[in-house]
Structure 1
Amino acid sequence: MLGVFGSWYRRKFSDPNALMLLLFLLIVAVVFYVFGGILMPVLVAIVIAYLLDVPVTKMEKLGVKRWLATSATLIVFFIITFLLAISLIPIITKQGINLVRDIPLIWDSAQTWLVSLPAKYPSLIEVEYIQSTMQGMNERLVSFGEQVLSASFSSIGNIVAVLIYIVLVPLMVFFMLNDKKAFMQSISSILPKERRLITQVGEEMNLQIANYIRGKVIEIAIVGSVSSVAFTILDLRFAVLLGVLVGFSVLIPYIGAAVITIPVAVVGLFQFGLSSSFGYLMIVYFVIQALDGNLLVPILFSEAVSLHPLYIIVAVLLFGGIWGFWGVFFAIPLATLVKALITAWSSPKNTSETLA
């Protein structure tokens, strides 16, 4: 057994380039795992920089100076962000407060329906089972309410952190965009000489991450906007809030769509009951999800969707458990990174150099 493992190790890692790639990945993973909380503003700035790099580069090719292109792009981006924030945040906040207020009414209606089940189906459902289920759910709801209340008080201390984000993130984005070439040269200068595979994987992942971030932002905007408009036309309560949640649910492939279906169905059922309006709501919702999964995602992520859905779900669970939100956000690029690493370590060029 040890001989088989030793043979595999010599075949894959006797090449200094492969060994340097492994060490580089381990160092990066340890840094983000240990200092992930401290580096959060840097990650936010990197995401925004990837998003805005295309217009800056195009303006530079047209003859505009890099610093001027960066400044103009950032000003437009933050103006649009500010206008969206002041137009959406009050509506979402108001609808969120109203939804929280209506949760007891929704739960009372659900309990009334549950209590009526034993009378309708006496041979299938027992009263004791319904009562024990309701008691357990009531206890969980109380516990959840306490957690939300404590989280709201603890979030007051995060106001300073938000102010830091407002100041630091735009500065970091400006420097990342304006001095991109200098930063890339600095990173290149500290890498080891045996960096062929690091460069190969880095170039591939740079393109993948850039396309993924831009595609994901476009997907969130389209799905969220279409869902909000559709819910509003159908006269669904909390339409904008639920539409925005549907938009952000695409951050978590497959799992997000399944989870967000619950609040949409519950609110629709509470408002419309088992009526044709509820049926139209669910049909429209599933049509949006189907168009997103079968049309929009293949167009925006033609490379990423080549990954099997099982690998994507495992990546979401694994990287989300390690790095939280950012692990979920970058689950597909990270899964693609693993695929790129396997390809790099198994490439004929790597094998031939190893045998030589």
Structure 2
Amino acid sequence: MKKEPRYMRDDVLNRTLKILGILILASVFLYMLTLLSPFWSALASALWNVLIPVAMAWLISLIVFPVVRLLERRGVGPRAVSVGIVYVLTIGVLVAFFQLIVPVVTQQVRVFFEKDYPLIIDYFQNRFRDDFVFGRAAYDFFAAAVVESAIISRSVEFFATSLTAMIPTTVFAVIVIFAILPMLLLFYMLDYERVNYVLKTLIPKRYKLMGRELSDHLSHTVGAYIRGQLFLMVALGLVATLAYRLIGLEYFLIFGILVGLANVVPYFGVLIAMIPIATYAYITRDVGPTPLLIIGINVFLQFVEGNVFQPIIMGRQLDLHPLIIIVSILFFGSLFGLLGIVFASPIAATVRVLYGFYHDRKALLDSSESLVESGHSP
């Protein structure tokens, strides 16, 4: 009778699952300590500043390293030449972006605050009461309740205090990320296989086969998902920008970029972005397009994204339910803010791959045991 590999045994799988659970609980415990102790808070902040560039370098390498491999297979030259070409192309795209897009966005933002921002403030101060869907009496009741509970003033005070405290650490973190990230990414792509080999040597010998298979599957699946999501964000942003331009929306570029960035939340990002855009269109409906056009465009884009592209990107590879993504975004967003929202989907995809790997191994183990019990060799 053929003996099943050690990594497929039930005790190994249970031990692996327990280790993952302990790591998650330890992370939550350390986060709770940061709320109680300045020392732990400073230590966690230092670790965070180190881990963020490493994690970003790994994620970016999943996106761009297939291009490096493609260039190598086409005989462009050694690894250094392929990596150099990718870097030059990336820098070229960034330069073109800052030369062509940023000036237009800056101009539209300036015009918005000079012309339309006062109109929006005036609308909510003077005219919103008349347009309130439940009537003036209901508006007065809700407004009095909000003022009495001091929700707005407390929220403003909380955000102002948090922002003031975050500015020094955030600026330092951004400087560290942009200073270290390009170098980390460069060395990681130059020695991609060697780095992965060194990491795999940290795995105990009896788990090497399982670790190698899981690592390859994780890199392929999560990398494909991230590349697909990035493509969707760019594509939806471009289509939305063009559509808004065609219907005469004044700040078409700003709102198009907003649609693309909002798609970091799969399935619902376009609808979330629709709310401020449709609100602006409603307030300025006398001089701009009707908000129904905005709603129609965004609903159509969301339908195409959710029913055509997302199943292709995630359905066959990850089978991630939208509810899982929403819960992940809420959870990691509440823990880590904006970065938590950005990384929520990749983290959810990683957890889904780990669960799928465990489930497949468990099913194979159960099948082997049933064959053994029935007297057949697997």
* C-alpha distance after superposition, 1:254-291 (max 9, x if no partner): 44334322111111111115997322222122212222
Relative to structure 1, is the Cα distance of residues 136 and 62 closer, same or farther in structure 2, using a 3 angstrom cutoff? farther
Aligned partner letter, 2:363:
S
Percentage of matched positions with identical amino acids = 19
Map 1:293-308; keep pairs closer than 5 Å. Answer: 293-304=306-317, 306-308=319-321
Which position in structure 1 is the counterpart of 2:376? none
2:124 pairs with 1:110: yes
2:222 pairs with 1:213: no
2:349 pairs with 1:339: no
Aligned partner letter, 2:355:
K
CA distance in 1 between counterparts of 2:225 and 2:357 reads 18
Which position in structure 1 is the counterpart of 2:11? 15
Relative to structure 1, is the Cα distance of residues 38 and 297 closer, same or farther in structure 2, using a 3 angstrom cutoff? same
Compare 125-134 and 329-338 and name the one that shifted more.
125-134
Compare 326-335 and 20-29 and name the one that shifted more.
20-29
Deviation at 1:177, TM superposition (A): 0.9
What is the Cα-based RMSD across aligned positions, in Å?
A: 3.8
Unaligned runs of 5+ in 1: 1-11
2:243 pairs with 1:227: no
Relative to structure 1, is the Cα distance of residues 83 and 155 closer, same or farther in structure 2, using a 3 angstrom cutoff? farther
Normalised by the size of structure 2, how large is the TM-score?
0.75
Greater relative contact order, per chain length (Cα 8 Å cut-off, separation 6+): 1
Map 1:1-356; keep pairs closer than 5 Å. Answer: 14-16=10-12, 18-20=14-16, 22-23=18-19, 26-27=22-23, 35-63=47-75, 64-99=77-112, 102-116=116-130, 125-126=137-138, 128-129=140-141, 131-132=143-144, 135=147, 140=152, 143-144=155-156, 147=159, 151=163, 155=167, 158-195=170-207, 196-272=209-285, 277-304=290-317, 306-323=319-336, 324-344=340-360, 346-349=362-365, 352=368
CA distance in 2 between counterparts of 1:220 and 1:155 reads 28
* C-alpha distance after superposition, 1:206-230 (max 9, x if no partner): 1111101111111111011111121
Relative to structure 1, is the Cα distance of residues 308 and 27 closer, same or farther in structure 2, using a 3 angstrom cutoff? closer
Deviation at 1:150, TM superposition (A): 7.5
Deviation at 1:179, TM superposition (A): 0.3
Which position in structure 2 is the counterpart of 1:6? none
* C-alpha distance after superposition, 1:72-112 (max 9, x if no partner): 11121122123213433333344345545644531321343
SS in 2 for 1:301: helix
Relative to structure 1, is the Cα distance of residues 192 and 61 closer, same or farther in structure 2, using a 3 angstrom cutoff? same
Unaligned runs of 5+ in 2: 1-7, 32-43, 374-378
SS in 2 for 1:252: coil
